[in-house]
Amino acid sequence: MNTPGMNPLAAQLADIIEPAPIGWFPPAWGWWVLLVLLLAVIGVATWWVRVWLQQRRLLLVADTLLDQALEQYQTTQDSQRYCQSLNQIMKRYWKACAPTATHVLSLSGNDWVETVMRAAPSSGLAKNTQQALAEGAYQPLHELKVNDLDQDVRRWLRKAKPAHIRRASQEPEHV
């Protein structure tokens, strides 16, 4: 069955069978690696956002309590009550960040201030603020700079991250 113009040797060749197209599954190993990395990034980002939102909620509550304490001080001018309120707010924040560190919540005076400074040394609490936190709850302070004290405590709350507080809670106390 030679057709005119066709090479007789070509008739002996079998038809070429093309391979099947490459399917989409299973993907190559590079896609699997990319998928694992993407899931890891999503997991870390989700965890980070959750931690950030939790800290923001704690700070909002602390800010509200600080505003209330400042308003109460402005109406009563009771420095002892104001310093007690500041210490309580800071200890509530501490407890929310490190629930198992109950030994820190019983600290007072200079021991409390040293622990606070250990949690956020970069907060730069002024000497007057340190004195007010250590002594103000137990005796009236006549030269209380309320605005400076308020700003120092707010700055400490922002600098004292939950991880720093947990770390400061685990450090041995100075004897």
Q: What is the mean predicted confidence (pLDDT) over 33-38? A: 97
pLDDT over 80 (residue 138): yes
d(CA 68, CA 106) in angstroms, rounded, equals 23
Q: What is the mean predicted confidence (pLDDT) over 130-159? A: 89
- Average per-residue pLDDT for the chain: 88
Q: Which residue carries 């019983």 as its tokens?
A: 106
- The number of beta carbons lying within 10 Å of the beta carbon of residue 72 is 14
pTM over 0.85: no
Q: Which two tokens stand for residue 103?
A: 């030994």
Question: Using one digit for the tens of pLDDT, what is the confidence trace for 54-106?
Answer: 999 999 999 999 999 999 999 999 999 999 999 999 999 999 998 888 899 89
d(CA 2, CA 127) in angstroms, rounded, equals 109
d(CA 114, CA 34) in angstroms, rounded, equals 48
